[in-house]
Amino acid sequence: MRESFDDNQKTLWRDGLRLIDVMSQHYHGKTFVNATPEDRIALLTVLSDHVQMTDLPEVRFFVELKRMTVTGYYTSKIGIHDELEYKGNRILKEYVGCDDQGPASS
């Protein structure tokens, strides 16, 4: 985020991380990092259960964090090559195409 040119994005992340700690202190009496794995999951579940409440900055942060996590994973070697088995652009000897016969008749 330090290298991001988007000040709104930086603000979302700074505020989001702070608010996650505030929530953790409220629910568990500890910062998120110092909370138990079970307490962390419970806090993230609260956020996940309320993703429609995008007027809350902590929810917007959570949604963005999930989006960027998925993007990061599926643009990494393990995501794109190992899991999706993407082989890259390759020249096909024959284009098979589609066997679509047009719209189905009723």
- Boundaries of domain holding 31: 7-83
Strand stretches in the chain, DSSP E: none
* Number of domains the chain is built from: 1
CA dihedral 66, 28, 20, 49 (to 10 degrees): 40
* Stretch 45-58: mean pLDDT: 93
In a domain, 62, yes or no: yes
The more confident residue out of 54 and 87 is 54
45 burial level (CB within 10 Å; 0-12, 13-18, 19+): exposed
Rounded distance between C-alpha atoms, residue 40 and residue 77, angstroms? 28
Q: Are 41 and 26 in contact (CB under 8 A)?
A: no
In a domain, 1, yes or no: no
What the block records as the tokens of 100 is 């679509």
Kindly indicate the confidence band of residue 9, based on its pLDDT and cuts at 50, 70 and 90. Answer: confident
pLDDT of 92 reads: 75
In a domain, 56, yes or no: yes
pLDDT digits (tens, 9 = 90+) for 55-101: 999 999 999 999 999 999 999 999 988 888 888 888 878 877 777 77
pTM of this structure: 0.70
In a domain, 35, yes or no: yes
In a domain, 90, yes or no: no
